[in-house]
Amino acid sequence: MSSLLPLLVAVPIAGALLTLVVGYAADRLGWPLAFASSLLHVALTGYLVVRAYATPDPLRYTVGGFRPPFGIELVVDGFNAAVVGLVAVVAVGVLVYARRAGPHSVAFYTGYLLLVAGLSGMSITGDMFNLYVFLEITGLAAYALVATGDDGRSAVGALKYLLVGTVGASLFLAGIGYAFVATGTLNMADLATKLGEVGYGSTLVRTSFALVVVGLGVKTALYPLHTWQPDAYASAPDSVSGLISALVSTVSAYALARVIYSVYTVEFLSSVAYAREFVLVLAGVSIVAGSLLAVMQTDIKRMLAYSSVSQFGLVVAAFAIANEAAVTGGVVHLVGHAVMKGGLFLAAGAIAMRTGARTVGEFDGLGSRTPLLGAAFAVLSLSMVGVPPAVGFVGKWYIALGAIQSQLWPIAAVILLSTLLTLAYFLRLVERMYFRSGTGAAAGADSPTGTGTATVADGGDDEDPTLGRDDTPTLGRDDDDAFAADDERFGRPSVGMVAVVVVAALLAVVLGPLVSAFEPLLEPTLETLL
Amino acid sequence: MILDILLTRYNYVVVALLLPVGAYMMIENRNLVKKVIGMNVFQTGIFLFFITAAYREGASPPLVGDGGAGVTYVSPLPHVLILTAIVVGVSLTAVALALIVRIYAQYGTLDERRLREAYADE
């Protein structure tokens, strides 16, 4: 069954080619073909993930019959199985959303499938140079996807992303070069033993570590290296922002963790002076600076983008702490953040489509104008802040626990501080949505505390009763007027778009309690990694 | 000592020059096309590093005839890696130039500062 591993990459690539060729002949077939490829990819991934957690040994596949360490091998263990599954599920969700929200071009569907192929490849490869190639495939697809927006801004954002991203990937390649010069091998498992033989004190080995961390730090968008990220996320179409915010940085952060654990090993981290401190300081600065920048934003998508800088600081800090609790927290937060941030971007897109609200100020009274989407946005926000039992809380809890176990008090303090700052920038939105009257015609004459607000004011518990109401508003006369006003001025998100956002909100809540079931699955892998 | 390094390791000196020159071009040049050229220079520096590392004095190409004992061969792997990296670099340049064409069509300029002014006007 491990012979199915290369199909994780091959299926989306074949789908991309098919979509490109058929899509140009018959425009209407673009989406169905992309969707079919994605469904096949999910089925395949689901099967392999179940297999990976059922067997104690990792699934391995030798590409082209060239045995490692000379050839390339693909590996799925308990660590990356979670990432592979995440990529497949989020990708399908975004495609469902993009059915109505667009972009509707064949270029988008092709780029989307190539991105999925690149991300899957990055997740499963066991070879350093292969990781670089998939990193660049992912990058190229992401640059092209950002540029699918209609206005010139998206092209400028994409070019900036391309220039900075290429420097990052090139530094990563230089790091691989240093490691290759030191050891003469590119296979991750082989590198781990040979780097130890060369000695962790070697300048070549240390330099390669620094270059690789900085290179992947650019792709993950850690603080001083994040400059491409807000422009790219803010200028991309909503579906694309959701997709790349949920997956591209996530898989890069996974790659960073994989390289730290499987190539340089935890022993390197603890034996080389300042190696762990270097990563921890990078992550800690990222947590604080990202949050502060997010508080200062007025544009919703830019705020969410800076929030990602902060959250990835948290994830990378967890991987640098490198004890069992912290790494569990890192994996949980990696997956949880992808679901929450992807959901938030998609919710923001759907809200903008419904009401035209794209800045913090325009969120006033939104809870009554679009109850269901507003509630989903609020639930996702609160989960991101870390309100139990949501997944955002569980991830942060484990990371803080790990920091305290390793007696890294500054990092523990930074994590708590970051929660306060996250509260600052998300709570002001929730407060505006539910406790302030809306502006303009859409809010109605005197209905700020009408029945619509009361129904949804208590967050996510009321989601199901209001499920149908977004389409057939029956919340009260004033709100009917509001809906009518919105209908005149703006479009309506499709049922699929709303459903994807609601599912993301539900997942953010449900995944939290499920972590205790996931922990024993992860444990055997962690034992071999740490 | 320094002269010795310059004479025997001049390739690495060129690498050490190409990387900052490329990075400087990307940061300092206002023209978007020149930024892309800077990116290419930067990448070339890294390609040269790989190729130089693979050089062995007096070694022959890795074509094993009969037995091949007593002969030093060059490892072909770095060359193959860089061939791949060059292809990646060409694709990146193509995408970058396509984006630049779009930017020019939209704003009528490739100058970073004028682009910012055009932003402010929107």
Q: Report pLDDT digits (tens) over A371-385.
A: 888 889 999 999 998
> What's the confidence (pLDDT) of residue A463?
39
CATH number of the domain where residue B10 is located: 1.10.287.3510
> Which of A9-18, A264-273, A283-292, A334-343 is the least confident region?
A264-273
> What's the confidence (pLDDT) of residue A438?
65
Cα–Cα distances in Å, from B88 out to A9, A122, A147?
18, 16, 19
> What's the confidence (pLDDT) of residue B91?
94
**Nearest CA-CA partner of A308 in A373, A259, A356, A242:** A242
Q: How confident is the model at residue A28 (pLDDT cuts 50, 70, 90)?
A: confident
Cα dihedral value A101, A107, A108, A110, nearest 10: 140
Q: Are B19 and B46 within 8 A, CB to CB?
A: yes
> What's the confidence (pLDDT) of residue A333?
92
Q: Is residue B64 assigned to a domain? A: no
* Over residues A266-282, mean pLDDT: 87
**pLDDT tens for residues A161-185?**
999 999 999 999 999 999 999 998 8
Q: Is residue B67 assigned to a domain? A: no
Q: How confident is the model at residue B68 (pLDDT cuts 50, 70, 90)?
A: low
Q: Is residue A269 assigned to a domain? A: no
**Residue A444 token pair:** 């109605």
Tell whether A140 is within 8 A of chain B (Cβ).
Answer: yes
Q: Is residue A464 assigned to a domain? A: yes
- Rounded to the nearest integer, the mean pLDDT of chain B is 88
**Nearest CA-CA partner of A304 in A345, A337, A336:** A345
* Over residues A423-439, mean pLDDT: 82
Q: How far apart are CA A246 and CA A146, in angstroms?
A: 14
* Over residues B80-86, mean pLDDT: 92
> What's the confidence (pLDDT) of residue A1?
58
> What's the confidence (pLDDT) of residue A366?
81
Mind telling me how many Å the CA of A152 is from chain B's nearest CA? 6
Q: Is residue B25 assigned to a domain? A: yes
> What's the confidence (pLDDT) of residue A452?
39
Q: What percent of chain A has pLDDT over 90?
A: 42
**pLDDT tens for residues A236-265?**
998 999 999 999 999 999 999 999 999 988
Cα–Cα distances in Å, from A510 out to A9, A373, A388?
29, 18, 11
* Over residues B78-104, mean pLDDT: 93
* Over residues A16-37, mean pLDDT: 89
Cis ω for the linkage preceding A230 (within 30 of 0)? no
> Which of A8-22, A25-39, A474-488, B81-95 is the least confident region?
A474-488
Q: Is residue B44 assigned to a domain? A: yes
Q: Are B19 and B28 within 8 A, CB to CB?
A: no
Chain B residues with CB within 8 Å of chain A CB? 23, 26, 32, 35-36, 39, 42-43, 46, 49-50, 53, 75, 77-78, 81, 84-85, 88, 91-92, 95-96, 99-100, 102-103, 106-107, 115, 119
Q: How far apart are CA A80 and CA A256, in angstroms?
A: 12
DSSP state of A439: P
Task: Using the predicted structure, report yes or no on whether residue A406 has a pLDDT greater than 50.
Answer: yes
Q: Is residue A198 assigned to a domain? A: no
Q: Which domain holds residue A424?
A: 305-530
> What's the confidence (pLDDT) of residue A371?
84
Q: Is residue A135 assigned to a domain? A: no
> Which of A123-137, A295-309, A478-492, A511-525 is the least confident region?
A478-492
**Residue A218 token pair:** 């650019």
Q: Is residue B40 assigned to a domain? A: yes
Q: Is residue A406 assigned to a domain? A: yes
Q: Is residue B86 assigned to a domain? A: yes
Most B CBs within 10 Å, among A127, A146, A156, to test the B interface: A156
Task: Using the predicted structure, report yes or no on whether residue A461 has a pLDDT greater than 60.
Answer: no
Mind telling me how many Å the CA of B101 is from chain A's nearest CA? 9
- Count structural domains, chain A: 1
> What's the confidence (pLDDT) of residue A363?
83
SS (H, E, C) A344-387: HHHHHHHHHHHHCCCECHHHCCHHHHCHHHHHHHHHHHHHHHCC
Q: Using the beta-carbon criterion (under 8 Å), do B102 and A177 form an inter-chain contact?
A: no
**Which of B23, B35, B99 shows the shortest C-beta gap to A158?**
B99
**φ, ψ at A302 (rounded to 5°):** -65, -40
Element of type H or E holding A511: helix A495-529
* Over residues A3-26, mean pLDDT: 90
* Over residues A81-110, mean pLDDT: 90
- Rounded to the nearest integer, the mean pLDDT of chain A is 85
ipTM over 0.95: no
Q: Which domain holds residue B113?
A: 2-56+75-121
Q: Is residue A354 assigned to a domain? A: yes
Q: Using the beta-carbon criterion (under 8 Å), do B26 and A163 form an inter-chain contact?
A: yes
Q: Is residue A293 assigned to a domain? A: no
Can you tell me which residue has the tokens 């940061």?
B27
DSSP state of A223: G
* Over residues B86-101, mean pLDDT: 94
* Over residues A209-226, mean pLDDT: 92
Q: How confident is the model at residue A36 (pLDDT cuts 50, 70, 90)?
A: very high
- Count structural domains, chain B: 1
Q: Which 3 state secondary structure label does DSSP give B119?
A: helix
Contacts of A158 in chain B (CB under 8 A): 99
Interior/surface letters A475-505, b for 16+ CB within 10 angstroms, e for the rest? bbebbebbbebbeeeeebbbebbbbbbbbbb
> What's the confidence (pLDDT) of residue B44?
94
Q: Is residue B21 assigned to a domain? A: yes
Mind telling me how many Å the CA of B66 is from chain A's nearest CA? 23
**Which of B32, B46, B88 shows the shortest C-beta gap to A136?**
B88
Q: Is residue A440 assigned to a domain? A: yes
Contacts of A153 in chain B (CB under 8 A): 119
